[in-house]
Amino acid sequence: MTDQHHIAALQTYWKRHRTFPSMAKLCEVVGLSSTASVFALVGRLCDASYLERVDGRIAPGARFFARPLLGPVRAGVPQPATQEEPETLTLDDYLIDHPERTGLHRVRGDSMKDAGILDGDLVVVEHKSATKPGDIVVAVVDGELTVKTLVLDDKGRYYLEPANLAYPAIRPTTSLEVLGVVVSVARRVRR
């Protein structure tokens, strides 16, 4: 078994349990027969930043949740397949610039479908970000939470606009507080 297979076994275990097993159980999880082999594996994976040691236990390292970033794929006419060595990337690295002020919101409804935000999607929202007209934002308008496009009218008043003609614009009657700017959308296409 290669280290990549061992990493995959550890990732599967982590996904199910949100922790790593004891060193004795680790032999079974990664398919090694001796604790000396497991110690050597852990050492290699720590050196490569897949794991780290924290208070005498192992924990996920910086590269543990990284996935291979394979070559581009056309959505039109097929292209020749390449065999390049892929780099790795975590979804956090790709989607989140400011982890200390980023959260996720699950979208309910179809008022933003023409902006590509569908019912059930997760929007990645940067809180405490500067906003400008045209940004898609998560906001509290008149005490109710929504995701819409922030618009500034010709009188200098902000309002929220859906991305679906079946819904009207929302003009606040008492208050409008922008909680954050939508910076990306995540969607599962197969469950």
The reported pTM is 0.77
- Residue ranges in the chain modelled with pLDDT below 70: 1
What per-residue confidence (pLDDT) applies to 117? 98
CATH number of 99-186: 2.10.109.10
Provide the sign of the torsion angle of the four alpha carbons 132, 133, 137, 142, taken in this order: positive
What per-residue confidence (pLDDT) applies to 91? 85
99-186 matches 3-60 in CATH topology = no
10 Å CB burial of residue 38 (0-12, 13-18, 19+) is buried
What per-residue confidence (pLDDT) applies to 1? 60
CA 34 to chain centroid: 37
Question: Would you mind telling me the total number of residues written for the chain in this entry?
Answer: 191
Instruction: For residue 153, give both structure tokens.
Output: 């009218």
| Residues 19, 20, 24, 25, Cα dihedral to 10° | 80
Rounded distance between C-alpha atoms, residue 126 and residue 43, angstroms: 37
Instruction: Reply yes or no on whether 148 is catalytic.
Output: yes
Q: Is the Cβ–Cβ distance between 69 and 87 less than 8 Å?
A: yes
10 Å CB burial of residue 141 (0-12, 13-18, 19+) is buried
What per-residue confidence (pLDDT) applies to 88? 81
Question: Quick one: fold of 3-60?
Answer: Arc Repressor Mutant, subunit A (1.10.10)
- Catalytic residue, candidates 22, 148, 155, 184: 148
- Catalytic residue, candidates 15, 22, 49, 111: 111
Residue ranges covered by each domain of the chain:
3-60, 99-186
What per-residue confidence (pLDDT) applies to 150? 98
Give the count of beta carbons closer than 10 Å to the beta carbon of residue 120: 11
The DSSP code sequence of 72-120 is: P--SSS------PPPEEE-HHHHH-S-GGGEEEEE--SSTTGGGT--TT
